[in-house]
Structures are given as structure tokens and as C-alpha cells.
Structure 1
């Protein structure tokens, strides 16, 4: 059986706030790459709930966080459609994303 690994490295300040976030995956370059934010969701089948890790660096600009949320929501719509085949509700989610983008004044 083949195994793959994703590793996150988080450097914290004295207040335990992320200053730097680096990640690498065995199926990418294999070298650490920097990022400003991570949202990780894991489905716990036993407890029937989602476990989450949401991290962002102190210097992540608010406009980039808004864009990150927009992109994440759009990606979730794509994933949901592939996983369930539910096209109607997926279109509703994409409509909401367009509304979100407009409200946040994100450029397309």
C-alpha cells in the first residue's frame, strides 16, 4: 500500500499566535512552502462531527483572508458536487459565493 504525507510546520510567537506557516506534501516538491492560512477539516465518523484546525499568520492581510474564504467556499461547492452529484444545491452555494464576493467587494 502506498502512503502519502502532508506536514504543517507552525512557528508561534510568545503569545502562541502563528507567525509563519509552512507545509509540504510527499506528492508535491517535497520541500516546505510558506502560506499565510490553513483551514483543515476532518470528518470524525465515530462522533459524527467535523474536527477543524483554522490557522492564519498575524500578518495575513484582511483582503487576502476575504479572498481565501471566497476561494474555499467555491472549492467546497465543486467538491460537494463531485462527491454527491447534487447540482441544484451546489448552484445555490455558488450563487451565495457570488453574493459573498459582491458584499466583500472582491475583484474577479
Structure 2
């Protein structure tokens, strides 16, 4: 069985606010840690039937980038849900909402 390991390193300031977030994967062609400004991770706990989540962002993450990050995350969650379930009707609704979100956040592509 093939295995891959994901590693996330979070460097905190004196108030425990993330200053730097680095991630790396043993399965990546790039063997160096990659700096990122935000991270959202969700894991499913089948024993308790709930999601375990970690949402982190560095203190220098600009709000305009955070808006784009949320938009793209919502869109890709829809893509993943469609692949996992085949539920096309609800995905159309989610994509409509994402278009609304992008418009309200003023990140819609002209």
C-alpha cells in the first residue's frame, strides 16, 4: 500500500497568532515546504459523525485575498461533493450562490 504524509507547520507570534504557515507532502514533486497564507482542513470522524476542522490564516493575509480564497473553496467543495455524490441539482444551487457571493464580495470576474 502506498502512503503519503502531509505536514503543516505553523509559526506563531507571542500572542499565538499565526505568522507563517508551511505545508509539505511526501507525495509532491516539490520536496520543499511551501509557504501559504491560509489553511482550511476538514476531517470526518465516523465514530462521532462530525467534522473536525482547522481554519488558520496568517496575520498578513489580506481581506481581498481571503474573499477569493473562500469563494474558490466553496466552488471546489461543490466540485468534490458532485464527484462524491452525483447530486447535480444541489450543485447548481451552490454554484448560483457562489456567483452571488462573488458579486457581493466584489470579486466577480467582469
TM-score for both structures, normalised by structure 1: 0.98
1:16 counterpart SS class: coil
1:54 counterpart SS class: strand
Counterpart-to-counterpart distance in 1, 2:26 and 2:67: 29
**CA offset at residue 92 of structure 1?**
0.4
Counterpart-to-counterpart distance in 2, 1:7 and 1:76: 22
* Runs of 4+ deviating beyond 2 Å: none
**CA offset at residue 107 of structure 1?**
3.8
Unaligned runs of 5+ in 1: none
Write the mapping of 1:1-108 to structure 2, written as runs, cut at 5 A.
1-28=1-28, 29-108=30-109
- Total equivalences in the alignment: 108
Unaligned runs of 5+ in 2: none
**CA offset at residue 13 of structure 1?**
0.2
Counterpart-to-counterpart distance in 2, 1:80 and 1:74: 10
**CA offset at residue 82 of structure 1?**
0.3
